[in-house]
Structure 1
């Protein structure tokens, strides 16, 4: 499906069947600096308040043994799913998610923030690294070293529809500052693929 966001950008989505109606979205790898284990602990608390909530992890490969053990220990295995998707399906996941959560301890830039803004997905993310510069006022921030801080930010977005909409609207505005930077990167990536140079 092709649709246009509020600023008339063309976005292709590919529907995914069987998705829960109420879920948080996590995207990408789950190495140590991504802070995924803390998110799991936070999520275990969140489903006490939101029993129909799920955690969808897009890409990054299947859960490893350590993650499976932690998920079972926290008794959230019925609420956690990992799926590998293409770009169109990922757009759909952003579109349908209640909140995109980006809990990393540090990142070089944080392009998934811009992807969430583009689709119109509310974002809860770390207040460290480049995130405040990239996200501006369009992100509900938390301290990535503090599970309660993470919990509070995500819960507030889940519980308040108007707050989610406020951050979504701010996201569209924030994206304007990075439109040219993203266009340059996409062009460079295209020529890298064409020429075979890294």
Structure 2
């Protein structure tokens, strides 16, 4: 079986959840007997793909950054993908992002589309131009032989908002990447405060950092030795710092940019991982926190209970005081912390890339009969 992937996510994303997931899938499929992964492109900017030594891909113009670099790379790779689709030397085409213009090049061969979330459709007010986020998503869902949703929650949102037949949607959960786990013997510890709460990823819009910032500042004020570390998401903005300035604890608010090993270390040494987002399609940081023995307190929203089960504490993001109550419980009860850490380590075993690849391969093999 020949499975073709396009360049899209690897040409526009240097790091990120979607590209990391497709890199894991590609590597997993390539290791399966009887499966040939077809990558019509050779140049990418994506670290997750470049980290795979068995893939014949290389970087694009080194470390140089200049306006239009991604556009130039995308234009070049897209022409190679077009050529490969026209040639038809594949059995299944799996899109890595949302490019509706490729539909006309399929010539009857089946296409699979993965839907990672429905955030622009559900919360358009949190995006400057929600209609421009994933403009080809609906058309691709209509044209696909099968749709992969990364959670039951995402599937339900997709069916409700797009009117897609549920029978065409297969739920395949993500797995945990090996480099997401901190191994003390292999990696030096990152310089971080002795005690801290951890927030990971983007903070704006529906990610809801501002919705809990004053609550977190109040928690820090009551606990003088506690810090808040934000990993990723870019430098903190003035409005993000303001609640901590007002509370007199701005010196204990930090932002760090870390590689995968550094992030794993940050999870492993945090007092708690806080995930205040109002919506996620899956929530990979939940698995990362569990795998590194970091207790998690999550918004009681979207897919979080589906992924975390009873291995996390939950709070109502509409009532931020419930986050403070949860943190007080977690930080003040060592037995509860141990219970959550143990439950998280058990829970994360249910999410593997091997299982995800098995299910994808089964889906691919049934496509000709469905299409």
TM-score where L is the length of structure 2: 0.45
Q: Offset of 1:76 from its aligned partner? A: 2.5
Aligned pair partner of 2:267 in 94, 97, 111: 94
2:297 aligns with 124
What's the secondary structure of 1:66's corresponding residue?
Answer: helix
Aligned residues: 177
What's the secondary structure of 2:273's corresponding residue?
Answer: strand
Kept in 1: contact 2:182–2:268 (CA 8 A)? no
1:145 aligns with 318
Rounded Cα–Cα distance in structure 2 between residues aligned with 1:71 and 1:143? 21
Runs of at least 4 residues of structure 1 off by over 6 A?
Answer: none
**Is 1:39 matched with 2:228?**
no
**TM-superposition CA deviations, 1:72-93 (whole Å, max 9, x none):** 2333211100010000000100
**Is 1:164 matched with 2:337?**
yes
Rounded Cα–Cα distance in structure 2 between residues aligned with 1:176 and 1:132? 16
Rounded Cα–Cα distance in structure 2 between residues aligned with 1:88 and 1:96? 13
Rounded Cα–Cα distance in structure 2 between residues aligned with 1:102 and 1:96? 16
Aligned pair partner of 2:198 in 11, 25, 35: 25
Rounded Cα–Cα distance in structure 1 between residues aligned with 2:216 and 2:354? 33
Indicate the structure (1 or 2) with the bigger Cα radius of gyration: 2
1:64 aligns with 237
Kept in 1: contact 2:217–2:243 (CA 8 A)? no
**Is 1:111 matched with 2:274?**
no
TM-score where L is the length of structure 1: 0.82
Kept in 2: contact 1:124–1:154 (CA 8 A)? yes
Aligned pair partner of 1:16 in 190, 207, 222: 190
Does 1 or 2 have the higher relative contact order (CA < 8 Å, sep 6+)?
Answer: 1
**Is 1:55 matched with 2:228?**
yes
Q: Offset of 1:155 from its aligned partner? A: 1.4
Are residues 111 and 119 of structure 1, via their aligned partners in 2, closer, same or farther at CA, if it must alter by over 3 Å? same
Rounded Cα–Cα distance in structure 2 between residues aligned with 1:171 and 1:157? 14
Rounded Cα–Cα distance in structure 2 between residues aligned with 1:103 and 1:55? 14
Kept in 2: contact 1:125–1:139 (CA 8 A)? yes
5+ residue gaps, structure 2: 1-179, 361-371
CA RMSD of aligned residues (A): 2.2
Rounded Cα–Cα distance in structure 2 between residues aligned with 1:99 and 1:182? 28
Are residues 10 and 26 of structure 1, via their aligned partners in 2, closer, same or farther at CA, if it must alter by over 3 Å? closer
Structure showing the higher helix proportion among its residues: 1
Kept in 1: contact 2:311–2:344 (CA 8 A)? yes
The more displaced of 79-88 and 33-42 is 33-42
5+ residue gaps, structure 1: 1-8, 188-198
Kept in 2: contact 1:14–1:91 (CA 8 A)? no
Q: Offset of 1:123 from its aligned partner? A: 0.4
